[in-house]
Amino acid sequence: MTSSFGWLDADASQRRRMLEIVDLFKDEGTVDELGIGAIRDALSGALFPGTSTLHTRLRYVLFVPWLMQHAAHKQSPAEMGTEFRMLEYKLIGSLLAGGEQVGVIGSRARDRLKRLPSATYWSALGAWGIKEADLSADGYFRRRHDAHRLARRTATADDPEAQERRPRSGLDPHLPAAPGDLLTKATFALSAAEEEYLSHVIARETDGSMLAWLILHQPVTLSDLVWELPGLSDAPARLAETVDHARRFHTAIHGAALLYNLLLARMRANDELVDHYEAELVAWRVEVDESGALDGWDRAAWWATIARYSAGIRPPTRAFVDSWITIASVDAVVERRSDAASLVAMRERQIKGSRARLANQAALDRWSGASGTGRLDFTWSIARRHLRDLYAARVTA
């Protein structure tokens, strides 16, 4: 019997999160084997709110409401919803006709696409103030339907207050107008007006975040890692501190992931993989030394930062991370330390129970050879792509 995921499609944010989890399981390198996802998500939300690993290009946050507005010309909410879905499929062909090849959602699946752009970007629309936070697509279409009915019943000329009584659509009234070629030959390039709008609303709604700061303070280059950005010393102190905590955690927790895979390789008696992970841990120790990631880390300030952005860090997670940092700070040759191995094995059992690979031969046999080794960047790679789209529009303006 094959395994499957199921959930009630009632909450857009929960659906988005589930889709992200499904994608993570497709990529063994990014699976959260040690249960630190809540910390990762807290830092991602603090630095780049609204961004998601499912995002491709920024202009989708305009495409989605534009298609909703277009679909709202139908007669009933049900017809609007059906039209909206058809328009999302049509957008795929329009982007391909416009010459876009990278980042087009559904470029291969076309009309078989299951996860449409609206599902991928819905949370961002709310986080960035482009739509009301609790608005659903169905809710929008019901509002538009009600507004149409009210408009037909009300003689505006005889009742100047009628417009005020009409229900709000739920979309930002300042949303730029859709281009005429939206459904024939679209591209990801933002117009000057679109860039100005998105820069304004995103910076406003994410004020205090690294995303907002970078929208307002364009660096000379966008580095591979956010803490390597030039000019970061000019950022507000609390923001710079959060970035530094992210940098330290990025480095520290990677050693635990490497040790986990080394322990699995040893249990498999796979000499090639053992040699590989031992070499990776040597490189990790060099990184720890050269970066100073574990030197003088104010652990109290670190946990206070996490608590500001997430109330959901469970005590076992905090205990595991604290213990790992302490072990690595004392002696980073973790592959020779029984306490480090015991800590990682205990943490896997806490998370997976009887399915833990380090305690279950059948689960070990299904190990691909690499799991959970992807480096944390806290959705910086996504935010960087969005920023590039904004910056590119400023150059061509």
Residue with tokens 């009630």, as numbered in its chain: 8
Residue 131 DSSP one-character state = B
- Cα 242 from Cα 187, distance rounded (Å): 35
pLDDT at residue 165, as a whole number: 54
Mean pLDDT value of segment 284-295: 97
Q: pLDDT at residue 242 above 60? A: yes
Quickly count helices (H) and strands (E) in the chain. 16, 0
Mean pLDDT of 306-334: 94
- Asked if residue 43 has pLDDT above 50, the reply is yes
Counting residues of the chain whose pLDDT is more than 70, the rounded percentage is 88
DSSP state of 190: P
Span 300-327, average pLDDT: 94
Q: pLDDT tens digits, residue range 48-83?
A: 999 999 999 999 999 999 999 999 999 999 999 999
How far does the chain reach from its first CA to its final CA, in angstroms?
A: 56
- Which among 303, 316, 323 is positioned nearest to 352, based on CA atoms? 316
Q: Residues 163, 164, 170, CA angle at the centre, nearest 5°?
A: 95
Work out the burial of residue 201: count CB atoms within 10 Å of its CB; fewer than 13 is exposed, 13-18 middle, 19 or more buried: middle
Q: Can you tell me which residue has the tokens 């990278």? A: 102
Distance, in Å, from the CA atom of 93 to the CA atom of 110, rounded to the nearest integer, reads 8
Q: What is the pLDDT of residue 131?
A: 96
**What mean pLDDT is predicted for residues 7-29?**
49
- pLDDT higher than threshold 70 for residue 9: no
Confidence of residue 149 (pLDDT cuts 50, 70, 90): confident
Instruction: Please say if the pLDDT value at position 158 is more than 80.
Output: no
List beta partners, residue 171.
131
pLDDT at site 199: 98
Q: How many CA atoms lie within 13 A of 318 on its CB side?
A: 13
**pLDDT surpasses 60 at 162:** no
Rounded Cα distance between 105 and 41, Å, is 24
- Predicted confidence at residue 150, as pLDDT, reads 77
Is 250 in contact with 377 (CB distance < 8 Å)?
Answer: yes
Q: How far is CA 190 from CA 60, 125, 392, in A?
A: 10, 17, 8
Q: Which pLDDT belongs to residue 391?
A: 98
Cα–Cα nearest to 51, from 127, 160, 134, 132: 127
Residue-level pLDDT at 176: 97
User: How does pLDDT run across 94-104, given as a tens digit for each residue?
Assistant: 999 999 999 99
Query: What is the arithmetic mean of pLDDT over 366-371?
Result: 95
Dihedral, 307, 308, 312, 318 alpha carbons, nearest 10: -20
Q: How confident is the model at residue 166 (pLDDT cuts 50, 70, 90)?
A: low
Mean of per-residue pLDDT scores for the chain:
90
Helices (H), ranges, 292-337: 299-309, 315-330
* Structure confidence at residue 15 as a pLDDT band (50, 70, 90): low
What's residue 157's pLDDT? 46
d(CA 386, CA 121): 13
For residue 154, the model assigns a pLDDT of: 63
pLDDT tens digits for range 205-218: 999 999 999 999 99
Taking the C-alpha atoms of residue 67 and residue 224, their distance in angstroms, rounded to an integer, is 34
Provide the pLDDT confidence category of residue 4 given band limits of 50, 70 and 90. Answer: very low
